[in-house]
Amino acid sequence: MIRRQAHRVLRDRLYRRTTALPQVEIEKSAIVLAPHPDDETLGCGGLIALKRAAGADVTIVFLTDGAGSHTAVSRADLAATRRLEATTATSILGVTPDHLRFLEIPDGELEHSVEHAVDLLELILRDSAAKQVILPHPMEPPPDHRVVHRIADQAARRLGRKITGLAFPVWLWDQWPWTNPLAPPRVRHSDREIVKIAARDRLGLAMTKYMTHSVDVTATLELKRSALAAHRSQMDRPADDPTWITLSDICDGEWIDWMLQPTEFYGTIQIGDGGASAGSPAA
């Protein structure tokens, strides 16, 4: 009961403190950096579809192969499956295969492959005229998510460029009181990590500081739902494997509900100057 009440108070505070992302920002061309296939849909699928509907170019870069999500199948098979799922999901959002880039860094190894990832992303940015980079928030708990800002920042600085960054939450939602981080399955966070996040983010209050802007994605929410369903290895449990964990299992569906609201939330950061502080989008 206490958590539910705290949740409602912080949710209302989040809506009050964020401002609507200007239409000019929605219409900007963008590069989306997804640590794993499905992060593009979970974190910013609604905005991607809005951008495509407005005629904006969107390129999606998948940094890892996503093959570490489950161990019941071989990594090679799962990587191939997740690549196909990502291609299907992003086509639903309006992004064609020629606007997808797969860096194929092993899932879970991104933090140890920063230089390689920077080299690859530098080439992509060099050939791109994108005005925005959309990426996970730098305070995200998983290392593969958290390190993406550093990779993007270093690649842009090599090119002498400064780019507006929109930072989305995925696993930032999985903290008290937004969800119950102690709920099963417990493979996602250690007890130490749960306590560390709670202290750092002041029992969820920091989310209202991290997130500066909101985007009404009501018009594209069904596309986002359909795109997420296309990530079948993450959303569907095989009939012959009752132990297979799906995204809907986390916190009894409470966590994924945050990704499927009619509003997406973003922090704003600068890519290319080494900074990660929130602010207003650049014009």
Instruction: Map tokens 């966590």 to a residue.
Output: 255
Q: Verify cis geometry, omega within 30 degrees of 0, for the bond prior to 143.
A: no
Q: Give the structural domain span for 143.
A: 2-268
The pTM is what? 0.95
| Residue 187: CATH number of its domain | 3.40.50.10320
Q: Which residues, at least 6 apart from 249, have a Cβ–Cβ distance to it below 8 Å? A: 184, 185
> In this structure, what token pair is assigned to residue 168?
């989305």
Residue 165 near residue 271, CB atoms below 8 Å: yes
Instruction: Establish if 59 belongs to a structural domain.
Output: yes
Say how far apart CA 82 and CA 123 lie, in whole Å: 24
Instruction: Establish if 234 belongs to a structural domain.
Output: yes
Per the prediction, the chain carries an average pLDDT of 94
What DSSP state is assigned to residue 237?
Answer: -
Distances (CA, A) of 216 to 80, 227, 233, 262: 33, 18, 28, 6
Instruction: Establish if 48 belongs to a structural domain.
Output: yes
pLDDT reported for residue 59:
98
Long-range contacts of 253-257 (CB under 8 A, 24+ apart): 254/179, 254/180, 254/183, 255/173, 255/174, 255/179, 256/42
Say how far apart CA 229 and CA 153 lie, in whole Å: 32
Q: How much is the average pLDDT of 184-194?
A: 83
Domain count, the chain: 1
Per-residue pLDDT tens for 136-187?
Answer: 999 999 999 999 999 999 999 999 999 999 999 999 999 999 999 889 887 7
Per-residue pLDDT tens for 86-139?
Answer: 999 999 999 999 999 999 999 999 999 999 999 999 999 999 999 999 999 999
- Confidence category of residue 191, pLDDT binned at 50, 70, 90: confident
Instruction: Establish if 51 belongs to a structural domain.
Output: yes
- Confidence category of residue 275, pLDDT binned at 50, 70, 90: very low
Instruction: Establish if 199 belongs to a structural domain.
Output: yes
Instruction: Establish if 277 belongs to a structural domain.
Output: no
Task: Count CA atoms closer than 13 A to 149's CA, side-chain side.
Answer: 25
Per-residue pLDDT tens for 9-62?
Answer: 999 999 999 999 999 999 999 999 999 999 999 999 999 999 999 999 999 999
